[in-house]
Each structure stands twice: as C-alpha cells, then as structure tokens.
C-alpha cells in the first residue's frame, strides 16, 4: 500500500446512516494517529510496517509516520526480540488468535531497559482474509521501575527485620524462625541423621571487664570483631546470630554433634590468633562455647537449653573452651 488513503479505503467499510451527522473516518484516523499516547501500528503479511502512529515513530526518533513504512522490527530491535515478534505474528496470522497484554522488554544501545504492555491482533481485509497484523503497546517502563524500586525496598526492609544493627549478624527473631524451618526439614526427612542440625552457643569471656576498662564504644567494637571472626570462619550454609549483648548462636545445617563440636573448637582457637586493638594495645579475646544437636533432643527449646547449659559449663571449667 503506497499511502494511508489507499490503505483505509480498502480496509474500512462505510459508516453512518442517511441523515446522520457523520465525522469522516479520515478525520478519526488522523486524530488517533496524532493524539494517541499508546503506539499503534499495522503490518503486512511479511511483518513490514504499513501504518504507524506518531507515538510509535517518535519512539525511534522519526518525525513522520511515512519514514517507517516498509521497515520491520529488525530495523530497530535486537535480533532475539525481532525473531520472537516474527514468530508471534506468524502464529497470529495462522490461527487468527490475538496476543493480549504481553509484557515485552528490550534494552537500547545505552543499556536502558524499556518495558511495554503489548496487544497484537490479526488484520483482515473486507472479505475476511488475514493479510497481516496490527497492534498497540503502552510504555510501562516507569511502572516497572517503580515496581523494581518497591521490591528493592521491601527486600531491604525484610533484611533489616532479620538483622542486628550493631553486629550485622542475624537477630534473635530470625534465629527462632530459622530453627523452626530446620526442625521442619528434619521432620520431613523422617529424622534422617544426615539432615540433623546443630547449635553452637557462645559468648565473650570477661566482656563486662572489657566494657568497664575501655568503655562501651570499644565494647561495640568487640561486638563487631566477634561477628567478623564468626562470619569469616563459618560455612556459607551456616547461620550466625547475635542473640543479645555478647551472646551469639551459630546454627549448622546438616551437621551432627561431633562435627559441631569440632567447628566450635576451630572457632575458639581462631579467636586466640586474632587480637583486637583496645587502648592502643592488641588484646586477645577468648570465648566459651556450648554445643547441642537437634536429633539428640525432643524439641527446639530443649536443644537451646542444652547448648546454653554447656556454654555455662565451659565458663565454670575455666572459660576459653568448647563443651
């Protein structure tokens, strides 16, 4: 089709009734072309553009709709996007079934991703034969960016709700949440001993003396130092929590009591080799630890209680030990 008039003379049936005040279809089409904020286009059976709205052509830097006639999506979009649209339009022409509210995206040369809600339909001639496709799309980039920002903030809030602000470790609330999940997993595995999990309870020896000697600001540094050492010496699968004060818990999935006791001893030994500077001098911190294993006990509460009891036993036995 060489121009708009020939196209719409063939595509559109007469409208109006004798005596009606009828707005010419050409004027209606012109209003749609020039004023619609959504993109509108018509394509022939080879997926070449034969008519475009101003919103559509301006999307690609053109000022006149005629500049896009004869072009395809391949002239504007990445190859994978073009290949997909060809397949979609072929299916629409073969089946007569439209594609409704398809969310599409493409990334421009500057790396910006654009999002659209697209509607595609078969294009019929006056005899009811499918001779191409037509469609509309709405730019929803701002909406998708707002959704992504909201999701980012929600993730941040969720993370903050799980984190201890001072140490950067997981907090007491999340500790109980993860414990329940681990217990549920163990139950679903029918008590498979390989899927048991263990707990290490620990705190800093003589922490009150450190606070009294160096002040609470240095005490906060000790809290963060403990967290750093625990994280850097734990597996990726382990969970490290600050329960409160100088009290910590390390949850070890898929770990029995003996393996947990060995890890507790590694942590204890590690602290002896990593001093912290307090008052201008390096200070060796020691920790006391207690270990328990879920499969040895009847409940989460008992598991925690036993780990705490063994921690206090380590204290009574002279500190700087794992029990």
Strand ranges of the sheet holding 198-204, from the earlier edge strand across to the other edge = 239-244, 247-252, 198-204, 287-293
Catalytic residue among 73, 164, 246, 308: 246
Question: Is 103:117 a contact under the CB 8 Å cutoff?
Answer: yes
Rounded to 10 degrees, the C-alpha dihedral 176/177/182/187 comes to: 100
Question: Is 182:275 a contact under the CB 8 Å cutoff?
Answer: no
Which tokens is 238 given?
């382990």
Question: Is 276:286 a contact under the CB 8 Å cutoff?
Answer: no
φ, ψ dihedrals at 242, nearest 5°: -105, 115
Rounded to 10 degrees, the C-alpha dihedral 52/56/59/62 comes to: 30
The yes-or-no answer on residue 246 being catalytic is yes
3-state class of 248 per DSSP?
Answer: strand
Residue with tokens 């299916």: 91
Q: DSSP letters of 77-130?
A: S-HHHHHHHHHHHHHHHHH---EEEEEEEEE-TTS-EEEEEEEEEEEE-TTS-E
List the catalytic residues: 246
């Amino acid at each position: 089709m060489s121009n708009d008039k020939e196209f719409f003379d063939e595509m559109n049936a007469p409208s109006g009734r004798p005596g009606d005040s009828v707005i010419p279809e050409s004027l209606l089409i012109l209003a749609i072309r020039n004023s619609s904020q959504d993109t509108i286009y018509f394509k022939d059976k080879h997926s070449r553009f034969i008519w475009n709205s101003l919103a559509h052509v301006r999307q690609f830097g053109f000022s006149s709709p005629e500049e896009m006639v004869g072009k395809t999506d391949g002239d504007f979009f990445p190859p994978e996007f073009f290949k997909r649209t060809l397949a979609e339009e072929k299916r629409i022409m073969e089946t007569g079934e439209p594609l409704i509210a398809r969310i599409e995206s493409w990334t421009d040369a500057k790396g910006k991703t654009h999002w659209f809600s697209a509607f595609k339909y078969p294009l019929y001639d006056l005899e009811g034969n499918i001779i191409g496709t037509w469609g509309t799309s709405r730019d929803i980039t701002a909406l998708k960016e707002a959704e992504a920002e909201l999701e980012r903030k929600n993730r941040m809030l969720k993370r903050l709700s799980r984190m201890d602000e001072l140490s950067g470790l997981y907090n007491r609330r999340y500790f109980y949440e993860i414990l329940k999940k681990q217990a549920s997993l163990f139950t679903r595995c029918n008590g498979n001993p390989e899927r048991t999990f263990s707990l290490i309870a620990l705190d800093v020896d003589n922490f009150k003396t450190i606070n009294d000697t160096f002040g609470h600001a240095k005490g906060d540094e000790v809290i963060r130092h403990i967290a750093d050492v625990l994280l850097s010496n734990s597996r990726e699968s382990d969970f490290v929590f600050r329960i409160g004060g100088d009290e910590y818990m390390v949850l070890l999935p898929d770990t029995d009591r003996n393996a947990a006791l060995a890890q507790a001893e590694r942590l204890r030994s590690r602290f002896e080799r990593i001093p912290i500077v307090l008052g201008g001098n390096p200070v060796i911190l020691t920790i006391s630890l207690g270990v328990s294993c879920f499969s040895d006990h009847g409940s989460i509460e008992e598991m925690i209680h036993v780990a705490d009891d063994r921690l206090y036993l380590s204290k009574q036995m002279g500190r700087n030990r794992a029990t």
